[in-house]
Amino acid sequence: QKEVEQNSGPLSVPEGAIASLNCTYSDRGSQSFFWYRQYSGKSPELIMSIYSNGDKEDGRFTAQLNKASQYVSLLIRDSQPSDSATYLCAVKRETSGSRLTFGEGTQLTVNP
């Protein structure tokens, strides 16, 4: 079982729709959860962090965490073509020091 698993996609949504990106993790002791956005040929950029169960909203982005189900998601409302990128889920485990474990990423395309 992969430590951090994401739907590989690609995921395609029309402009203005809600894009839903999902991530599951294997270590129940994981503490901190991050979503990074990576445009083609660029480096990852941190867009959301979440540490406790529930929802966290920042503009058009909402991160959702359910530790019991070992599940974290990212919702993008009113999707724009500029949101087209690969989204990486990253998890910090309690026993991993400063190491973040990344999923393979989900490629999102928002069609005008």
Partner 1 sequence: ETGVTQTPRHLVMGMTNKKSLKCEQHLGHNAMYWYKQSAKKPLELMFVYNFKEQTENNSVPSRFSPECPNSSHLFLHLHTLQPEDSALYLCASSRDGQGGYGYTFGSGTRLTVV
Task: Name the minimum Å distance from CB 2 to partner 1.
Answer: 8
Contacts of 18 (CB under 8 A, 6+ apart): 75, 76, 77, 78, 79
Nearer to partner 1, 17 or 70 (CB): 70
Decide if residue 88 touches partner 1 (CB under 8 A). Answer: yes
In 1-112 the beta strands, taken as DSSP E runs, fall at: 4-6, 11-14, 19-25, 30-38, 45-50, 54-58, 61-66, 71-76, 85-93, 100-102, 106-111
Task: Name the minimum Å distance from CB 16 to partner 1.
Answer: 29
Decide if residue 22 touches partner 1 (CB under 8 A). Answer: no
Task: Name the minimum Å distance from CB 70 to partner 1.
Answer: 17
CA distances from 32 to 45, 79, 91, 106, 109 (A): 16, 26, 6, 19, 27
- The mark string for 33-72 relative to partner 1 (x by CB under 8 A, - otherwise) is -x-x-----xxxxx--x-----------------------
Q: What is the contact surface with partner 1 in residues (CB under 8 A)?
A: 4, 31-32, 34, 36, 42-46, 49, 88, 90, 92, 96-105
